[in-house]
Structure 1
Amino acid sequence: MLTRIAKARATVRARVWDLLARRPQGFPWLMVAGKLLSGWVVIDLDATLITAHSAKRGAAATFKKGFGFHPLGGWCANTGEPFAMLLRPGNAGSNTVADHLRVLTDAIAQLPAGYRRKILIRVDGAGATHDLLDHLEQLNRLWRSVKFTVGWTITEADETAIAALPETAWTDTLHQDGTVTTLAQAAELTGLNQRLAG
């Protein structure tokens, strides 16, 4: 039944996206750092904790010492639509790669065929696993480009690598509109961070 529902949703979405593209302003492409990401569909993967105040089916203790559920979802940043959702008990892990792969697969299946050529996947630190990143790389084809950005929890190894950077390694960052900000800086840690071994 869930497969039939997903197919029906994808069929309706293809029609709605066709109508969106026909508007005078066209399809809602995202603006990032002052640049229009024309042609790119952005999928955000993220989990959230939902508190339950009684022992409901699937409710369990969470990693943040609460009690409830820990669903993982995939959303389209262009349109704000939920593409896929995996309902999970509260004790589901945050770095569970099998869950990320399932939600990602379900989310991509919701994309109308003409919008699967350029996909940007955004995941927080829970997605910082080799298996997920390897899978994202393997999604690239001659006809499809898949890019991704993944969050990262800073550890002592990262702090040590950051401290080893020379002052000249740092560059200013950008606001969403592309203008320079001096509030934050960025630097490349490749080769200095022992956590990246292998």
Structure 2
Amino acid sequence: MVSAASGPPRQPVFAELGQECAAGNFKGGYGFHPLTAWCDNTGELLAVIARSGNAGSNTAADHIAIIDAAIAAVPARWRRNLLVSIDGAGSSHAVVEHLTALNARPGWSVQYSVGFDLDERVRTAIGQTPEQVWEAALDAAGKARGDAQVAEVTGLLRHSTGGDRLDTWPDGMRILVRREEIETGAQLSLFEQANGYRYQPLATAAAGGQAQRLEARHRVHARVEGFIRCGKATGLAKWPSGSFAINTAWITAAAIAIDLLCWTRLLLLDGALAKAEPATLRYRLLHAAARLVSHARMLILRIPEPWPWAEDFADAFNRVRAIP
């Protein structure tokens, strides 16, 4: 984004963008690097933290702050049985220990499922895993897949030669590994290239459950990518001001808009519109040329009859009125 103003700048200028706290990020881009937390059950944006572009992807303090903010955003009656899923950026000691402490509170269940580093100890455990231990991964319908397998390597890491190689982590932490056939163009480590598979380790504290189902549960985290895409289309993609404080206010307003659209889909729409993305909702409903008129002491919302989604608009409006 370009911010232009006459006279001397009223805030620090970074590079040519004129935006406070804009900086290069770890993906090679330039701008900002916010953290977001989403509710998988509803698609709501529970919390967002504005950060400078060079903020670390695995900064434990930021992850802990947004976890606590997200839990606080969940209604109290639903906070006591939670699953927190994070990608590989969340596999730091401080984050896992914080989640373990949350789970230890009486009457609480806070499980976690986070990506784990494919480091030397995990690579060694994979190399020691017999072929017959690998089981078929499950797809979204719970059926076995032929192109991916799952194995648990906790025993090899905890009790194999060399002692407990997870001794600095909480006792209940388990390590699962998914392997899948290599896709063209995938970025791979030398270890993966030599073995002929792409590996994705994850850590969880679930005391029971099959490795296949626990791994499938973690794969649901991929829905976050869809949430983020819709969030960018609702204002998170472009921060308009040269002031970081104003940009922070902007993303707060964007978060409100994201949740309003989310609950519009959940409560007011059905069919294809209940799954529509922001651009579709804007075109079909939000930009409809409706008119509010007064007649016989009543307010009437008039929608052009030829509008293809006029009935959907009217149904949504009537559902709003029916909410207690």
Query: Could you state the TM-score of these two structures normalised by the residue count of structure 1?
Result: 0.68
Q: In 1, Cα distance between the equivalents of 2:93 and 2:135?
A: 28
Greater fraction of residues in helix: 2
Within the candidate set 129, 149, 162, 1:165 is matched to: 129
Q: Which among 12, 30, 45 is matched to residue 82 of structure 1?
A: 45
**Runs of 5+ consecutive residues of structure 2 not aligned to the other structure:** 1-14, 169-324
In terms of fraction of residues, the more strand-rich structure is: 1
Question: How far apart, CA to CA, are the structure 2 residues paired with 1:143 and 1:185?
Answer: 35
Tell me the residue number matched to 1:103: 66
Unaligned runs of 5+ in 1: 1-51
Contact 1:53 1:67 in 2 (8 A): no
What residue in structure 1 maps to residue 152 of structure 2? 188
Identical-pair percentage: 47
The one of 166, 175, 179 aligned to 2:143: 179
Q: Which secondary structure state, in structure 2, belongs to the residue aligned with residue 154 of structure 1?
A: coil
Aligned residues: 147
Residue 26 of structure 2 aligns with which residue? Answer: 63
Could you say which structure has the greater relative contact order, defined with CA pairs below 8 angstroms and 6 or more residues apart? 1
1:4-32 superposed Cα distances (whole Å, 9 cap, x missing partner) = xxxxxxxxxxxxxxxxxxxxxxxxxxxxx
Displacement of 1:53 after TM fit? 7.5
* Aligned residue among 108, 123, 135 for 1:144: 108
Task: Give me the whole-angstrom Cα distance separating, in 1, the residues matched to 2:143 and 2:78.
Answer: 29
The 1:53–1:115 alpha-carbon spacing in structure 2 relative to 1, beyond 3 Å, is farther
Cα drift, residue 177 of structure 1: 1.6
Secondary structure of 2:154's counterpart equals coil
For residue 92 of structure 1, report the CA deviation from its aligned partner. Answer: 0.4
- SS of equivalent residue, structure 2 residue 77: helix
| Equivalent position amino acid for 1:173 in 2 | A
Q: CA deviation at 1:197?
A: 4.8
Deviations, residues 16-60 of structure 1 (Å, cap 9, x unaligned): xxxxxxxxxxxxxxxxxxxxxxxxxxxxxxxxxxxx982411101
Q: Give the partner amino acid of 2:29.
A: G
- Deviation of 1:110 after TM superposition, in Å, equals 0.6
Deviates more, 1:113-122 or 1:173-182: 173-182
**RMSD of aligned residue pairs (Cα, Å):** 2.0
Supply the distance in 2 between the matched residues of 1:91 and 1:196 (Cα, whole angstroms): 30
Q: Please give the alpha-carbon distance, in whole angstroms, between the structure 2 residues aligned to 1:64 and 1:127.
A: 17
